[in-house]
Amino acid sequence: MTSGSRHAINADSVARHTLQNGATLLVYPNPASPSVAVGAYHAAGSVLETRETAGLASLTADALNRGTQDRTYLEFSEELDQVGASLAFHADTEYAALGGRALAEDLELLLTLSTDVLANPTFPNDEVGRVREQTLTVLAHAEDNPGSRASRRFRELLYGPSNPNGWPEDGYAASVREFQADDLRSFHARAYAPGSLVLAVVGAVDPPAVRDLAERTIGAWAPAPGAVTKAGWREALAAADAPQAAPAESRREDIAIEGKTQTEFLLGWMGIRRTDPSYYATIVANFILGQLGLGGRIGSNVRDTQGLAYHASSYAIPGLTRQPWSIRAGINPANVDRAIEASLKEARQLAETPPDDEELRLSKQALVGSLPLRLERNDGIANILLMMERYELGLDYLGGYPALVDAVTADDVRDVTAAVMAHPAYTLVTAGPELRAV
């Protein structure tokens, strides 16, 4: 598998090195590009929060660059602007991440700034207050958005109140409103450590030179006493991956939002992990159900044939922990129940009858054929390298990916759909104008 670069991405072309502080470095030289992209992930996601501190990981990541021991937020921004570079930080449920781009000659600046922000943030009170207010504004907008409301409540019902997969990455207004700078400092000291960091560098670079530069920057970052280790992070992920008690029967909640004219629904089941053997059958099944063409079987039937939805599709989310396999649609409130039943019918049909040869062939072809598009840019390659490391797929993964997809049979597609979507106890949330009883 190749990208816009001149050689394949595999164990021979990707340099992997463990830095002196335990961080992992992946370097892929792409001489066809004059730029460089950096990407990284590490342990500091909301799996390290409690329900009472929901949103703390996200707020901490958002405020990292607002001041360090050596730079103010303005100085940080000006250093990037002067060379036309970018560098951003965020956190989701499973991990925190960073991403940046610059000309290759400015890689040292990216790594220097990344190290400063990760290792030495000061979280000035006034800056934390600004970021907190921005987050509260985002949460207020989400509260008025049917899709966001449906998604949030769906995960709460699916995972329960004690699992970090069940609360929003941005947290709740009630928890975020209480966060002070000291809370962010404490979370940073506990959650940010180089031992769980994986850094990818892609572009017009020389791997040995990048290794030396990374040792002087990221490699010099020493963890705080008591900071989470990679093993500690894995324990937190395992706790968030604990089996959930399956509901005895289907559950449904209808959320009324004043002033809305369209209903969004989210219907689904607990799915699989990215590392499960059934992953490849799942992505083929999901493609057939909700992605092939202009929306797969669900889009074709529910939206195009019956005209019941403005948009309709299915989503199988990959993760280190079990994630949902769901059906989503935006619909006229008068068509809610008909659209739900039509969507379920498509899922049940695939769970009972294998796809025909042509549908299976087209789906596999699309899944394999779309991968090179993700590798046309340096940041796309960096993201793929991080994904391979995160799920322990090996650096030769891309070469074997087409065969893994091609090995999926029609019966595999039927069976994996039946194992999840044929379960009668689904979770359903609708959000929009108040629904009238029929």
Mean predicted lDDT score pLDDT of the chain: 94
What is the per-residue pLDDT across 43-83, written as a single tens digit (0 to 9) for each?
A: 999 999 999 999 999 999 999 999 999 999 999 999 999 99
Q: Hey, which CATH number is domain 15-240, 3.40.50.1000, 3.30.830.10, 3.40.50.720, 3.30.450.40?
A: 3.30.830.10
Closest CA to 197 of 225, 239, 164, 228: 228
Q: Distance between CA atoms of 312 and 304, rounded to whole angstroms?
A: 10
What per-residue confidence (pLDDT) applies to 1? 43
Secondary structure class of 5 (helix, strand, coil): coil
Here the tokens at position 306 are 């019956």
Cα dihedral: 151, 153, 158, 160 (round 10): 140
pLDDT of residue 3: 42
List, in sequence order, every residue forming a beta bridge with 27; answer none if it has no partner: 15, 201
Label the pairing between strands 96-103 and 86-91: antiparallel
Q: How many Å apart are CA 31 and CA 48, to the nearest integer?
A: 39
- Residue bearing tokens 């369209």: 262
Domain spans, the chain: 15-240, 251-354+409-432
Residue numbers in the chain where pLDDT is lower than 70: 1-7, 293-294, 437-438
DSSP 19-79: -TTS-EEEEEE-TT-SEEEEEEEES-SGGGS-GGGTTHHHHHHHHGGGBBSS-BHHHHHHH
**Measured torsion, CA atoms of residues 126, 129, 130, 131, in degrees rounded to the nearest 10:** 120
Instruction: Report the predicted TM-score, pTM, of the whole model to 2 decimal places.
Output: 0.93
pLDDT of residue 7: 66
**Options 3.30.830.10, 3.30.300.90, 3.90.1150.10, 3.90.1010.20; CATH of 251-354+409-432:** 3.30.830.10
